[in-house]
Structure 1
């Protein structure tokens, strides 16, 4: 059975109610919602136009029952927005991109400074003491996540692949072999793992020429945060994790 997906963030953009599912680092969007946002009259046709890597069948809990439904990844959402001729589609892409970026800057799905507001809205029935504990936990979690990503990224926003492997809970050599198998990386003339040009252009990876101990200059592959999220999504899709990854 598919994992039951839940809403982790809601807002209103361009007069449309926007729901974000699963987690903020690799968010999912209900395909029928997306069709409504960009005024697409045929959800099934829209879903067919999306690459297989950018859509998945998930489970929602509605009206007391689990129901299967199509979801789009963030890239899948942007893909259908770019395909659409509706004026609202391009605007929607721009605004959702801006919205997700503003959330990620805090390192969590709850914007920094709005923890109390969120608790008041969603947990109004709880005692004030319990609400206070939840607020404090959210504030502390936001701080921890921000510190984590600050440490993870270097000044150029790049991560070494061994750091990526540790974050994903997989051995570095296993990760390289996996990414070669997925046609994300390949061996260059020096037998160094480097990304295909497509993934560089998409901002998922970067390659730096780095001096080595033997005096030679070799290519070294780095991942961006977008690349980390992309690898995590691939691993999850291929069943590398027995439980959902919490970002």
Structure 2
């Protein structure tokens, strides 16, 4: 392909170098680097064993100081699939940590772990005055507290989230999401013009409909999503190019 990829974000996770390519919203990972995380020598075999679809992998030009080079890249979903299927002891904890890392940079625009705000500011901004450093640290602490509150509210005790919360997690407007899911034949309007999921998606554990007390005192049927449903809709949006173009 003609597109030239370069590193847009890099970090170290569990002692391994992690580079993100293309975009934060829809990152790509170099297959060779994924193999290094797991100490795998045969990249082709790793891809084959994970049964990665052709749509989840591609050859791109990779920018290097010595010139652009062809390299195999995989999508975020494919990267997780490789880590899930790997029998290496490093795979499970690495998958857990990289999910936390990607979630952090998507929601906050930064990857500063809670409790390490002061350490990060002092490391990267040592020349700033103590007053400025303190202000930056306090801002980061507030930001991380808001992030924690958001995820505490994300999943309720039944493992369900509201569609509004789901829309926020997917970075899409709630009404746009409803319209999109109706168009994909996941939701439909019931007799009261309420968005509800088709029975198939309820049986698959992606959505649930519950009788819920509303602000006006009435009890109505309200649709909730599960973590499985959130992941399913995110994949639909990616396949339809939402994260590179607006959903119409």
Please state which band the TM-score falls in when normalised by the shorter chain: 0.5 to 0.7
Pairwise CA RMSD of aligned residues?
A: 4.7
Quick check: 2:7–2:19 contact (8 Å CA) kept in 1? Answer: no
1:70 is aligned to 2:69: no
Q: Secondary structure at 2:158's aligned position in 1?
A: coil
Q: Report the TM-score, using the length of structure 2 for normalisation.
A: 0.62
* Count of equivalent residues: 226
1:141 is aligned to 2:146: no
| 1:47-196 correspondence to structure 2 within 5 Å | 47=47, 49-52=51-54, 54-55=56-57, 62-63=64-65, 70-73=73-76, 75-84=77-86, 87-88=87-88, 91-100=89-98, 109-121=111-123, 123-124=124-125, 126-129=127-130, 131-165=133-167, 167-169=171-173, 171-180=176-185, 185=186, 192-194=196-198, 196=200
Quick check: 1:47–1:55 contact (8 Å CA) kept in 2? Answer: no
Gaps of 5+ in 1: none
| Residue 231 of structure 1, CA deviation | 3.0
Q: Secondary structure at 2:114's aligned position in 1?
A: coil
Residue matched to 2:20: 21
Residue matched to 1:206: 207
| Residue 32 of structure 1, CA deviation | 1.3
| 1:230-241 correspondence to structure 2 within 5 Å | 231-232=233-234, 234-241=236-243
Quick check: 2:52–2:78 contact (8 Å CA) kept in 1? Answer: yes
Residues 242 and 98 of structure 1: is their aligned pair in 2 closer, same or farther, counting only changes over 3 Å? closer
Residues 35 and 197 of structure 1: is their aligned pair in 2 closer, same or farther, counting only changes over 3 Å? farther
Residue matched to 2:217: none
| Residue 3 of structure 1, CA deviation | 7.3
Residues 186 and 127 of structure 1: is their aligned pair in 2 closer, same or farther, counting only changes over 3 Å? closer
Residue matched to 1:38: 38
Quick check: 1:194–1:207 contact (8 Å CA) kept in 2? Answer: no
CA distance in 1, matches of 2:137, 2:68: 31
Residues 209 and 70 of structure 1: is their aligned pair in 2 closer, same or farther, counting only changes over 3 Å? same
Residue matched to 2:225: 223
| Residue 70 of structure 1, CA deviation | 0.6
Using CA pairs below 8 Å that are at least 6 residues apart, which structure has the higher relative contact order? 1
| Residue 113 of structure 1, CA deviation | 0.6
Q: Secondary structure at 2:14's aligned position in 1?
A: strand
Residues 59 and 165 of structure 1: is their aligned pair in 2 closer, same or farther, counting only changes over 3 Å? farther
| Residue 158 of structure 1, CA deviation | 1.7
User: Radius of gyration: which is bigger?
Assistant: 2
CA distance in 1, matches of 2:243, 2:157: 30
| Residue 176 of structure 1, CA deviation | 1.3
Q: Report the TM-score, using the length of structure 1 for normalisation.
A: 0.62
Quick check: 2:197–2:207 contact (8 Å CA) kept in 1? Answer: no
CA distance in 1, matches of 2:12, 2:81: 21
